[in-house]
Chain A
Amino acid sequence: MSAEMNKTPKIGIISCSGEEIPEGTISRNAVRRVLEYLRPHETVTLCLPLFLAGNEGERNFARTHPVVTIDGCGKQCARWGTERHGGPVARALVVSDILGPGAAGCSRSARGRTPADESAEAVVADRIAREVDALRAKGATPRDKGDGV
């Protein structure tokens, strides 16, 4: 890793909570994959409702980290909430856009997990990791907002 990249703050990832739909579960599990296995030293997270309902320290999250939001559906609650309190996000990803019909057959509960869930989470996690790499490669800062795509 270059000295320049070491100066880059960790990338914040805020996931949809999406309890009603499988895409919400995919988004949370994909984020956990990134945090635990794919980019554990480059990323941090905060749960969305805590970010929105929390105190100033929690609200400060988006002002101290470039943020990637990952939403389950087109309502983009994570992006909406983050932008409302922290300004434009560096990247905004939507599971249903990434997977298309690939989320069909996925389950919202871990009790119903199948290889389809595993595969969908892996695809989304890889995409998040690529965005994290791209942001760090360009030395993103919290003020250095991306195109929001």
Chain B
Amino acid sequence: MNRLSLLLYLFCFSTLVGCYDRIELEQQSYVIAIGIDKTDEEGLVDVTFQIANPEVGSTPGGGGEGEEPKETVTLTGTDIISATTTANAFVSKELKLDHTKAIVISEELARSGEFLRVIQAATRTNQIRRGVQIIVTKEPAQEFLNNNKPKMETRPHKYYQLMLNRASEIGIIPDADVHRFFQITEGDADLFLAPYATTEIEEQKKGTTEDDYIAGNVPQQGGSSSQFMGSAVLKEGTMIDVLNGAETRIALTLDNTIELTDIYSTYKDPIKPKYRVAGSFGKKRNTEVNIDYKKNGTTKIDILVPFELEIFSVPSLVDYSRNEKNKEILRKSIEDELEENAKVLIKKSQEEYGSEPFYWSLYVRDNFKTVKEYEQADWNKKIFPTAEINIEYHLIKLEFGKAIDDTKLNEVRD
């Protein structure tokens, strides 16, 4: 008996080596970004893998000097997962998608509506995580990944992580992971916003404000050639439009499911309209969305956006901080300006899109007891497009930074 249990124990040890799933680090290569493009043939897509080279940038002067930080390969296949094995025809190691940070799709593919079919694979295997970000590019994704050569963050995983985090924090692109994509697309009521990016810098538009651009026309000199700005609007998995940075930012402030940090932006100077006032916009409280649902009739939607603003630059040198009257004028003007912009976007979504990118369908749901009733009421076809929407921005706190007053320019020049 003792001998038998000894044998059993020994057998247990033999299982500990884990022969089946044992794989050395050396034998795998990590895909950081996946690009998907349309091909001429239906059912086939071009898949581009951007593979990180872990030897670069990890240890100072370590092995692999002179090697590229990443390798980008493209092949044709039916889906992402099976393409990883086909890729082994010319990539020496097993491709692992566990560390993928971004899925890049071309505008062409997004507009064709094929994207949903391709991304389905992400839910069935556990290789692609729900936290992977979706990016829509103006040019083919293959081109984007090949041209994207960051100057400072040469290690690709850090690049995508930092680039996407920062840009979505300040609201010029949305935070758009696979999880959110499925929740919104399967929910079939709202619009999904995905970051819009490009490496094709075309003619540079002279915008009026700092974020009135979409990727590709942000005036830029020097630096990396890829721009992330604005968002692609996806309705039921198909791309229908592009929002610029400013519109994206409005959409994000109206959406309570997204977290924003303080946003630096400029506003009209009400007293000297030639100049603009710069400040940081903070959304500290949730936007209040009140929906008065009427089954037969016009639904009323009241929106109240409480926000804080910290002014840090008044180039016109008008005294807004101490003069109460001026302060009121400024307050009113900023609120009006924001409301104006939001109204334009809301109108556009009601008339053009027939649905909204603010995830407001959440607020109508408590009017229904069952999913069936809710689906029959049809938020994006019947309720929202005909609703009467009032929006109000409310500035709850206006601050002026740490300086009490600006330098008196005329006195200095005297």
Partners in one complex: no
